[in-house]
């Protein structure tokens, strides 16, 4: 066993020493979050052994069926983070309203927003799941935050990260100064810095999207995917691979490890929903991580981190990953919205006319 390796606890303490703006409350909060992630990882690993696989018999505020491990993970995050005196309040995907810190605990200067178990629909087939978290500063003097106190753009985040529960459990974290990955060493029970200064390449030949929704996509997304699928024979002149895990944590982690672009774009499947992913505790923290690693995160029509939230559980379209691919998708949206993407089609001189157009 190697000694003297950098643990997550040591890393955040050293960051505090180098950057005094990162106060002791934030350092302590991240320690509480990593403790919660260890507990959640253990419960996920023991899922079927503890009878924790399957539906919990209720729906969350999103109208989605809660899994037993959704409920367990939510309770773990709340109990691990409510007592330390660093938080003024919390928001969870599994709770309709903001969570009030119990009166017996001191209040702090931060707000914690989280998805306790992202990708829980994959639990029964033993695929990778995770926890996503975002930390904001509460407005000065606020100890009992109202809903509007949580509605801050992602650019205001002071910390974002996710825990990954897979073949090796990890925490990937940014404090606004790059992105770093920590792998859980089960022999000592500590997260160890194994992936410092993660960076996403500007180009890629891999994309992730739920292709079953193609008929509901907007034309700029259809255009992009069609070009990728055509490979070397198409306008991109290179072959692409397609991936889809249905776990945002796993999708983003793959992009951090080897590049790529992930899309959960706006579509017409449910016109009442402008997007699928939740802004405050899914899109914003992942966008911060991706940008800090040199990538780009967009709704297709603007930077995710600039979106001004209107509700705790607001949904947005998400396109993130390798910078040049996301920029291409943004350009396709601009061209579509302006009408400049449409080719001139003559009823006489086209593929369906008397005269076949040359390619």
Phi and psi torsions of 112, nearest 5°: -115, 130
Q: What is the three-class DSSP state of 148?
A: helix
134 marked as part of a ligand binding site: no
In degrees and rounded to multiples of 5, residue 87 shows phi and psi of -115, 145
282 appears as a binding residue in the annotation = yes
Q: Is 63 exposed, middle or buried (0-12, 13-18, 19+ CB in 10 A)?
A: exposed
Pairing type for strands 87-92 and 110-118 reads parallel
CB 312 within 8 A of CB 98: yes
212 marked as part of a ligand binding site: no
On whether 350 is known to bind a ligand per the annotation, the reply is no
The 3-state DSSP class for residue 312 equals: coil
Which residue in 52, 57, 94, 101 sits closest to 75, CA to CA?
Answer: 94
Query: Residue 75: enclosing H or E segment and its boundaries?
Result: helix 68-81
The answer to the question of whether 93 is labelled as a binding residue is yes
Please count the helices (runs of H) and the strands (runs of E) in the chain. Answer: 8, 17
- ∠ CA 303-266-161, rounded to 5°: 50
Binding-site residues, in ranges, read 93, 115, 117-121, 210, 282
Binding-site residues for substrate, in ranges, read 118-121, 210
Binding-site residues for Mg(2+), in ranges, read 93, 115, 117-118, 282
């Amino acid at each position: 066993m190697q000694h003297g390796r950098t643990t997550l606890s040591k890393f955040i303490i050293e960051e505090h020493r180098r950057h005094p703006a990162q106060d002791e409350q934030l350092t302590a909060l991240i320690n509480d979050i990593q403790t919660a992630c260890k507990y959640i990882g253990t419960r996920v690993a023991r899922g079927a052994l503890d009878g924790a696989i399957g539906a919990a018999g209720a729906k969350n505020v999103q109208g989605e069926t809660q899994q037993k491990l959704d409920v367990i993970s939510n309770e773990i995050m709340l109990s691990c983070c409510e007592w330390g005196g660093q938080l003024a309040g919390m928001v969870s995907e599994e709770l309709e309203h903001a969570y009030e810190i119990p009166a017996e605990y001191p209040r702090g200067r931060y707000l914690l927003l989280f998805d306790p178990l992202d990708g829980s629909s994959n639990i029964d087939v033993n695929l990778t799941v995770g926890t996503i978290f975002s930390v904001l500063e509460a407005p000065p003097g606020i100890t009992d935050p109202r809903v509007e106190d949580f509605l801050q753009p992602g650019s205001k985040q002071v910390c974002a990260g996710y825990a990954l529960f897979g073949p090796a459990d990890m925490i990937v974290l940014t404090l606004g100064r790059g992105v770093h990955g920590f792998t859980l060493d089960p022999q000592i029970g500590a997260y160890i810095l194994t992936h410092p200064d993660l960076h996403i390449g500007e180009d890629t030949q891999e994309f992730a999207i739920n292709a079953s929704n193609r008929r509901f996509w907007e034309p700029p997304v259809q255009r992009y995917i069609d070009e990728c699928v055509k490979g070397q024979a198409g306008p991109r002149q290179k072959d692409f691979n397609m991936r889809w895990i249905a776990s945002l944590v796993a999708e983003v982690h793959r992009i951090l490890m080897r590049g790529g672009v992930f899309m959960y774009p706006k579509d017409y499947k449910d016109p009442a929903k402008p997007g699928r992913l939740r802004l405050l505790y899914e899109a914003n923290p992942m966008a911060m991580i991706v940008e800090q690693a040199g990538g780009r995160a967009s709704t297709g029509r603007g930077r995710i981190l600039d979106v001004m939230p209107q509700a705790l559980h607001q949904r947005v379209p998400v396109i993130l990953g390798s910078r040049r691919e996301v920029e291409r998708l943004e350009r396709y949206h601009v061209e579509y919205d302006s009408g400049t993407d449409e080719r001139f089609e003559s009823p006489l001189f086209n593929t369906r006319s008397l005269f076949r157009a040359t390619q």
